[in-house]
Amino acid sequence: MDFPAIHTNFWDAVIAIPVIMILTQLIKVLFKIPKPYVPTIALAIGIVLSVFVSHRGHLFAGLFMGWFYGYAAVGSYASLKTVILSYLKKVRHE
């Protein structure tokens, strides 16, 4: 079995992850999704975007990269939230 070539490009680094973060937050707000399910939604959006947009015709590559898109969005959101909350805590206690 030959593995497809997977290249990281502008789409991966700058567009896909923020799009997944935005779509996940919109779904969370519009449909009142409980917090424990949000990472699963981000993963599903990442896989769908990867399979049908960025890696059309290569199911394995789409699933593989979609997994990374989804979890990169989850990690980026968690990191951003932590930084903002710690900054606000620091500002309020000064």
pLDDT digits (tens, 9 = 90+) for 47-58: 999 999 888 888
User: Per the domain annotation, does 38 fall within a domain?
Assistant: yes
Whether this model's pTM surpasses 0.95: no
Mean pLDDT of the chain: 89
Of 38, 31, 36, the C-alpha closest to 70 is 38
Question: Domain residues for 65?
Answer: 10-92
Q: What is the pLDDT of residue 1?
A: 67
Query: What domain count does the chain have?
Result: 1
pLDDT at 93: 83
Whether 85 is covered by a domain: the verdict is: yes
Joined tokens for residue 36: 């424990």
pLDDT attached to residue 4? 65
CA distance 81 to 83: 6
